[in-house]
Every structure is written in structure tokens, then in C-alpha cells.
Structure 1
Amino acid sequence: KGRDAFAFDPISSPYLEIADDLLIRTPYSKTLLRELHEIPWASWDNELRAWRVPFRSYEELRRRWPIIEEAARHSEPEERKRRREAESDSEAQRTRRLRYAERRRHRYPVPSEDLPPMGRPVATEQCGVVVFTDVSGELVEPSVLAAFYPHARRTDIDYAWGTWRSATLTELIRTWPARREASEMERSRGWWQPTLPELRVARRNARTIERRRRNRDLGPTS
């Protein structure tokens, strides 16, 4: 019955081969795998590096084939490359690059009348848990606040640039966590005493950074 159905309404595709069974070879795709797993008696042949679908399951394969073939085409290396290139020119990608460049400047707007403590880890909206080292007298332009720091939306106060660095693991371990979540007022000013969950994330990241630094320092030398 399955062979008759195939002969009457065959699938013509570069991803499908005819043998004792129907053989499907495609690039990797989660969507494709999900569809194939729904086809009765479909199985992966590790030796042939292909999916086997018996002819008795042809009608179900035929029904799902448009999704399978589209997912396969979508996963082709050239198609992936084309999408990456298109994304690199997209507005979203440009925005991400600008935000990354802003973060690398290690500056952060703080209310000029409500400054964070210097030399002590505090939580921030955009940069996580950091240590402020200095506050300049330079006021932040409203356009910069709107573009990169949406939390700083109060118009009745001035924001100055604070300079920050990443907190060390030792500093994070010694920091006493806040007993409650940051209030709306604390979040609107942009900094607050970190909670235990926030400190745990920061400590985990700091351990990873220190481990990478040690591995780099102990790496092979020529």
C-alpha cells in the first residue's frame, strides 16, 4: 500500500532517497527531528547517517514533508550564513553593538544627590553587581539615558557619571545581602544593596572569571 501511494504521489526532493526504505538525509534541525519522531516506525540509521522511513509510513511522511523539507532548507549552511549576514546588518544587531560598546566604557549614571557607596559591591540595573570607584562631575545627557539606561527616567534630578569595575570574588563573599528585594525607588535610582540570589549569580560569574584567569596564567609556555 505504501509503495503504491508513493508511486501514485511521489515526493521529489534532494533530501529523499529510495532504497528498501525511504532514506532522509538533511542538515540538523530540531523542527525536523520533532516531525520525524512523529512518523510511525521512522528510525535513525547510524551507519548510513540517515533516517529510515518504511513505505508503510509513507502517507504520514507525505503529510509532514512540507515542514520537514522547509526545516532542512532553513538549516543548510549557506542559508544559515545568509541569515547571519542579514542579522549583522539589522537594526537589532547595531543596537546590541552600541550597548556592548557603552558597557565597555565602565560608566553608569547615578543620581547626583544620591550616590552609591565607593569601593563596595552594589547591584545595578544594567551592569549587575559592581563596585563604584569614582563619580565625576559630568552630567549625563538625556539622550544617552534614553538610549542605554531606561531606568533613569526621572526628570526632576540630575544624573552624573559613575565609574565602576567588576567586583572580585572576595568582595562578593564578604558582602552582606539585603533582607528584601529592591524597592521601586531604589531601582529607579539605579543601584541598591544586592540580595542573596543576586550575589549568588555574581559569585558564580566571578568564580568562572577567576578560573579562566588562572588557567590562562598556567597555560603552556613556549
Structure 2
Amino acid sequence: MGRDAQSGVEIVEDDDSPGAIVSFPFDAECVARFRLTFPRARWNERLRAWRLPGTTAVRRATRWLERNLPTAFAHADERGHDSFSFEPIVSRYLSDAEDLVVRTPYSRTVVEELRAVPWAWWNGEEKAWHVPFRSIDELRKRWPTIEAAAKRNEPEARRQRQEAAKSGPGHEETKARASERRRRRYPVLAGVLPPLDTVVMSHAGPLVILEVTGEIVPEQTAHQHYVWSTVQPGDLVWTTWRRPTHDELIRTWPARHPPAAGDLSRGWWQPTLEELRAARRAARSLERARETRKRRASSRDRAG
């Protein structure tokens, strides 16, 4: 995503659905070319910008603007290239060609940092981030955090941490928490049940409650894994759950107000817009990763 304050050009990911929010200075001929290239784009009066659907919308919009508004980018890229040549970022995780290419082990920190770099975009086929030279200053500012996170997530570094954790005092507790998560169950008050097959927010993130089993939650289990529930009077019962899909999160209506103290203490509430946006981004990333794995598996099958 990116922004150029001087040129009035801005491209950001659409938080509400897969796509991009695109704005640029009005020019009748340029708008006509944009609509011809992107017939599915729709003008949003509230945002004063174009809403372009599609999982590759940010990349496609960026490439189109680079071709059609070259003066908005050419000088900035040239300055960025000169800056990089004079003071390069030397790292095994970074290479340069037409733009800067970042390849690291997966890390949430890396993803968050690169998402904040203007005009950076993820190439799923290459499994790499592309950053234009015009964004070198922002990348340079964030690079120490990116590189440190990448090193922490190297397979050998992760293995060493896992081995060290096994001998640590909290290892058994960590194993117990992981085992509880795999059970996909969640406690609720027997007298205040959540709606079934509906997206709700919880202390475990967004959930779709599938069933109320009626089984009483043992007090020891509640104290160990669900501390928030121990202040509740009355019996707690187990529910089963699954994670909502991106499409379900899109269709979920946000709450007008943040959850009250009573909602938090009972363990579930109607999600706020901010919570939904974060959940949508996470679900979209997960679904993209699954699609990429499917495509690669299909390609290997055809090659075999």
C-alpha cells in the first residue's frame, strides 16, 4: 500500500473486503482510462476514492498508476535508488533489482512492519515482498525490527527456543494451554447463552458457536485456562466452536458501542468495527495462504 502526499495519490487495502481503496487527482481522461481498465471499480462518495475489488487489487492499481501517472513516481524512485546506492541495506533477506525484494521466514512482526511501508506488496508466487525504491526511507527505518524478527523465526533459532522451553518452568503449563485450545471448546454462563451459528467476539477471538453441550465446566479448568470466567456467579457450560470465514466476518454487523463490563465478564459480545477489521485481515491472510498451498500442490501433481 502507499501514499504520496505531494501528488495526491493513495492506495490502501480495503479493510471491509478483498480489494484496494484508490485515490488520485481528478483528470477526466485519466478517470476514463481507469474505469476502462477496471470496470468493476466503484466510486465511494464517503471515502472520496475508488473501491477496487480483488485480492491483487493493490498490486494492479499500483502498476496502473505507475504507467499512467509516471511523474508521480519516477523522481521519487530515482531519489530512492540513489539513496540506496549511497547507503545500501546489506542483508541476506534483501535483494535489489527493478525494486527491493524482501524474503524472510514467516513472522507476524515482519508482515506488520512491511504492511506499514508505503507501496510494499506481497507476491504470493515468489513468496516475497516487493518494495519500490521510493519507499527506501520507511523501509530503512523499519529494517532493524524486520531483520531481528526474521532471524528469530529461522528454523534453527525456533528449534533452539523450543528445546530451551522444554526445560523451562512454564513448559507443562504451555503444553496444557495448547492442549486446551485443540479441544475447541469455550465456557459460557448457562443462563446467558450466545447465539448459535453467528459470529461473536470472545476472549479467544472471533468465534462461531456450533453447539451448547450442557456439560458443566470444572472449576479447576475454568481457573486454569479461563480466568475471566471465575468472577461469574452460576454454572458455566461448554460450547463447541469454529473460526468464522472471511465472508462471514464481512456480513457481520458491528456493534455501535464497545462491549460493556458485563459483556466482557460473561465472555462474549457483539464485535466492534475495529475488532471486525482486524479479524477480516487475519482471515483473509489465512485464506490466501491456503489458496496458495492448494495451487502449489496442484502444480506439483500436474508436473508429476
Question: Which of 279, 284, 290 in structure 2 is aligned with 1:213?
Answer: 290
Alignment correspondent of 1:85? 163
TM-score under structure 2 length normalisation = 0.45
Long gaps (5+) in structure 1:
1-45, 47-77
The code of the aligned residue for 1:200 comes to R
**Is 1:197 equivalent to 2:274 in the alignment?**
yes
Percent identical: 42
CA displacement 1:35-86 (0-9 Å, x = unmatched): xxxxxxxxxxx8xxxxxxxxxxxxxxxxxxxxxxxxxxxxxxx999776533
CA displacement 1:96-149 (0-9 Å, x = unmatched): 221111111110001011000101100001x20110010011000000000000
**Is 1:102 equivalent to 2:180 in the alignment?**
yes
CA contact (8 A) 2:232 2:265 kept: no
Count of residues in Structure 1 that have an aligned counterpart in Structure 2: 146
Report the Cα distance in structure 1 between the residues aligned to 2:291 and 2:157, rounded to whole angstroms.
40
Report the Cα distance in structure 1 between the residues aligned to 2:238 and 2:158, rounded to whole angstroms.
41
Aligned pair in 2 of structure 1 residues 178, 89: CA closer, same or farther (>3 Å)? Answer: same
Higher relative contact order (CA 8 A, sep 6+): 1
Larger radius of gyration, structure 1 or 2? Answer: 1
Question: Which of 190, 193, 200 in structure 2 is aligned with 1:115?
Answer: 193
Report the Cα distance in structure 1 between the residues aligned to 2:251 and 2:160, rounded to whole angstroms.
49
Cα RMSD over matched residues? 2.3
Cα shift at 1:208: 1.2
Q: Which moved more, 1:138-147 or 1:180-189?
A: 180-189
Q: Which aligned runs of 4 or more in structure 1 are off by greater than 3 angstroms?
A: 78-84
Report the Cα distance in structure 1 between the residues aligned to 2:157 and 2:273, rounded to whole angstroms.
44
Cα shift at 1:155: 5.1
Aligned pair in 2 of structure 1 residues 94, 178: CA closer, same or farther (>3 Å)? Answer: same
Report the Cα distance in structure 1 between the residues aligned to 2:265 and 2:179, rounded to whole angstroms.
23
Aligned pairs (5 A) from 1:1-222? 84-125=162-203, 127-154=204-231, 156-219=233-296, 220=299, 221=301, 222=304
